[in-house]
């Protein structure tokens, strides 16, 4: 028996969509998984015969009795994802897990309900699904998810081997994200500086915003670890999605060792509070006030609380456990 996992290519290498999948695969290789490369392309240009030939090539290393983890979305058409699982299902005694990173129809306003149901039909072809949060699981079950074996992801990992310095006490906030999707950026007018990183060209409109452009993972970690706070905020539209998804930027902040400020109601808010990793707030003003008023001793206590989880994230331990649990659950129950 062999273990396989899909990996995404052909999208903007700066985007978290591709970074998250490739980080999972990097960790999976250490556990003996074989990579199955998927490419983002205009699927609608393929005939059914051409698509089948393409998928036969992609799955050529898969055999009867193997285990496959399919990371979704592939960011191709849902019909592509279904065709991929159809081809995998041709193998006898195969075990399939779907690792849900994002649900595309929930990310953008105006997506028809039919598209969500089509996506859930693909999930239902799996023996096990990995979901980003319990609220996401509840939502999908209400919409028709029927897979009985489910695992809930606890945290993204950010494999990183270089040593980072201990963050210093700095009254500033870091945020990584496209300002077009996060309306609070343009209205930022607080005394606390906001350091913004995005690969989109951006004309600074708010006050006290320091635009840093795009930085790769190593550069971001070095910037963050110099000291400050990482901010996690709801995107403007659709406003509910961040209550369901697993925030990749949370792991980046924690890997760098800095405290986090999260908007109330978003995923992982309670874990941040329970483990003393930062604060939850109702408004940007409240976030700025916390940074203005916190003492250096209080800040260093938060930094100390984060050390262990930073080690786990950088070492890929959350993903290793998730992958091992997936294999155990599929094969032993």
Of 153-157, 196-200, 267-271, the least confident: 196-200
Q: What is the pLDDT of residue 49?
A: 95
Instruction: State yes or no: cis peptide before 148, omega within 30 of 0.
Output: no
251 assigned binding-site residue: yes
Distances in whole angstroms, Cα of residue 90 to Cα of each of 24, 30, 41, 120: 26, 28, 24, 20
With a CB cutoff of 8 Å and minimum separation 6, the contacts of 121 are: 82, 144
Together in a domain, 135 and 111: yes
Please check whether residue 163 lies inside any domain of the structure.
no
State how far the Cα of 70 lies from the Cα of 21, in Å rounded to an integer.
10
Indicate the SS3 state at residue 192. coil
Together in a domain, 198 and 149: no
pLDDT in tens, 161-188: 988 999 999 999 999 988 888 888 888 9
Q: What is the pLDDT of residue 112?
A: 83
Please check whether residue 168 lies inside any domain of the structure.
no
Report the domain count for the chain. 2
Q: What is the pLDDT of residue 237?
A: 65
171 assigned binding-site residue: no
With a CB cutoff of 8 Å and minimum separation 6, the contacts of 116 are: 103, 105, 106, 143
Q: What is the pLDDT of residue 182?
A: 87
Please check whether residue 106 lies inside any domain of the structure.
yes
The domain of 45 spans 3-157+316-332
16 assigned binding-site residue: yes
Please check whether residue 50 lies inside any domain of the structure.
yes
Together in a domain, 89 and 191: no
Phi then psi for residue 153, to 5 deg, are -65, 135
Together in a domain, 271 and 184: yes
Together in a domain, 53 and 96: yes
112 assigned binding-site residue: no
Together in a domain, 192 and 139: no
Tokens matching residue 14: 């700066």
With a CB cutoff of 8 Å and minimum separation 6, the contacts of 223 are: 174, 195, 197, 212, 215, 256
Please check whether residue 167 lies inside any domain of the structure.
no
pLDDT in tens, 4-37: 999 999 998 778 889 999 999 999 999 999 999 9
Tokens 């940007």, residue? 284
Together in a domain, 152 and 7: yes
With a CB cutoff of 8 Å and minimum separation 6, the contacts of 49 are: none
250 assigned binding-site residue: yes
Q: Over pLDDT 70: what percentage of the chain?
A: 98
Q: What is the pLDDT of residue 239?
A: 64
State how far the Cα of 59 lies from the Cα of 94, in Å rounded to an integer.
12
Question: What's the average model confidence in pLDDT over 279-292?
Answer: 97
Q: What is the pLDDT of residue 110?
A: 73
Tokens matching residue 182: 């996060």
Q: What is the pLDDT of residue 279?
A: 97
Question: What's the average model confidence in pLDDT over 196-218?
Answer: 83
Please check whether residue 322 lies inside any domain of the structure.
yes
On whether the CB atoms of residues 4 and 70 are closer than 8 A, the answer is no
Residue among 156, 108, 153 at smallest CA distance from 134: 153
State how far the Cα of 53 lies from the Cα of 60, in Å rounded to an integer.
10
pLDDT in tens, 54-100: 999 999 999 999 999 999 999 999 999 999 999 999 999 999 999 99
pLDDT in tens, 215-272: 888 999 999 999 999 999 988 766 688 889 899 999 999 999 999 999 998 888 999 9
Q: What is the pLDDT of residue 186?
A: 84
């Amino acid at each position: 028996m062999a273990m396989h996992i899909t990996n995404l290519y052909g999208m903007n290498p700066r985007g978290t969509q591709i970074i998250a999948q490739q980080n999972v695969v990097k960790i999976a290789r250490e556990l003996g998984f074989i990579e199955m490369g998927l490419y983002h392309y205009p699927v609608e240009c393929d005939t059914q015969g051409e698509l089948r030939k393409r998928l036969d090539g992609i799955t050529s290393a898969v055999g009867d009795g193997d285990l496959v983890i399919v990371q979704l979305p592939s960011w191709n058409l849902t019909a592509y994802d279904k065709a991929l699982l159809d081809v995998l299902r041709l193998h006898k005694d195969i075990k399939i897990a779907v690792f849900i990173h994002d649900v595309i129809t929930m990310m953008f306003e105006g997506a028809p309900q039919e598209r969500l149901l089509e996506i859930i039909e693909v999930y239902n072809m799996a023996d096990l699904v990995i979901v980003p949060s319990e609220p996401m699981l509840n939502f999908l079950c209400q919409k028709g998810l029927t897979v009985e074996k489910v695992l809930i992801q606890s945290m993204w990992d950010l494999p990183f081997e270089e040593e980072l310095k201990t963050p210093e006490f700095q009254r500033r906030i870091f945020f990584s994200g496209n300002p077009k999707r996060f309306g609070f950026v343009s209205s930022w007018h607080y005394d606390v500086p906001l350091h913004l990183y995005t690969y989109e060209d951006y004309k600074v409109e708010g006050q006290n915003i320091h635009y840093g452009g795009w930085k790769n993972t190593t550069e971001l970690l070095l910037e963050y670890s110099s000291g400050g706070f990482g901010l996690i905020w709801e995107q403007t539209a659709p406003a509910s999605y961040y209550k369901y998804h697993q925030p990749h930027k949370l792991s980046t902040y924690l890997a760098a060792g800095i405290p986090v400020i999260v908007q109330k109601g978003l995923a992982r808010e309670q874990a941040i509070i329970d483990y003393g990793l930062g604060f939850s707030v109702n408004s940007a003003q409240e976030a700025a006030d916390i940074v203005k008023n916190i003492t250096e001793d209080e800040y260093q206590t938060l930094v100390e609380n984060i050390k262990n989880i930073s080690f786990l994230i950088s070492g890929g331990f959350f993903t290793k456990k998730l992958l091992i649990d997936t294999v155990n659950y599929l094969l032993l129950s």
